[in-house]
Homo-oligomer: A and B are copies of this chain.
């Protein structure tokens, strides 16, 4: 168990840092360092008043209803809408009085940081059962980066135990849009003691928009929304949220497309001897002894994966978007593999 503080943490998705790391890489970078869908929801025009006027409270309520429907929450009253889930994390962690926060790790590092900001003693644990001792228990389901899934039944049991002594279970379902939906707790927030986080930007490929949701019992949802105040969600994010979350046809098609892309990516890695150990259809999880070398070799060729400073044998790879990106990944992998094979021959000689 590792105690965690509030220092800023490292993330994927920064081209600024990538350029500093790989100054000679061919531009533009193929950024596979995030789990953001490269096939964004189609952009559409917005009237200028969406930018010039304050967002309407009524439109926010409409968005809450559509989000409840899309995510399977009981009603709009169970939804708080925010400019991204990130900004919600310390607020959600503050729903229980400062105590012991346990985060099921390894996972998205901001959870422990947010818990520490909220005054908790925050630690990561590797064992699900250890979460029962927490005042605030946090897990990501499916997990980032390994795709680990905790079953709904187990989660509900844990939530019941925590609730009985005033604790809170936070389930970050940032990647639950690509399933498995039967393990979502979105429909189970009524009883209290559970907050589910849903991210708009990842599945819809609009991370720059900043839109996210907390699903909770109505009192908690109202409390979170009050903390954010009126106009928490920007006009453009409101409009995209209302349209995209109601577009079940696009969503179903995109789930199929991402599943096919993920399969294609696994096959591509497999061809070069890199086995995929898990993930979701928005990102794949690679475990290999030469991970650090693969990260650098691809980086120098302008392909960014996500590496993790403290786990040098692990990588995460998002999906390429265009044919060109697939080709650049393939040729970078081929280049890396041939150098590796040469090196192995060298050793064998």
Contacts and interface: CB of A to CB of B under 8 A. Distances in A.
A140 B329 CA distance: 55
A209 B48 CA distance: 11
Contact of A43 (B51, B53, B84): B51
A162 B11 CA distance: 39
Interface stretch (A186-194, A223-231, A271-279): A223-231
A234 to B, nearest CB: 4
A19 to B, nearest CB: 9
Interface string A15-26: 111000000000
Given A232-B86, A234-B83, A117 B227 contact: yes
Nearest to A34: B54
B54 A207 contact: yes
A235 B90 CA distance: 22
Given A15-B56, A16-B56, A54-B13, A229 B87 contact: yes
Given A83-B210, A209-B235, A227-B90, A40 B57 contact: no
Interface string A47-91: 011111111111100000000000000000000000110110110
Given A40-B51, A51-B206, A55-B208, 9 more contacts: A16-B59, A38-B52, A40-B48, A53-B207, A54-B201, A83-B210, A86-B229, A86-B232, A87-B87
Interface of A: 6, 8, 11, 13-17, 31, 34, 36, 38, 40, 43, 48-59, 83-84, 86-87, 89-90, 110, 113-114, 117, 201, 205-210, 226-237
Contact of A234 (B57, B58, B234): B234
8 contacts: A13-B53, A36-B53, A40-B48, A53-B207, A54-B208, A87-B232, A117-B226, A207-B231
Given A56-B16, A87-B83, A210-B234, A43 B36 contact: no
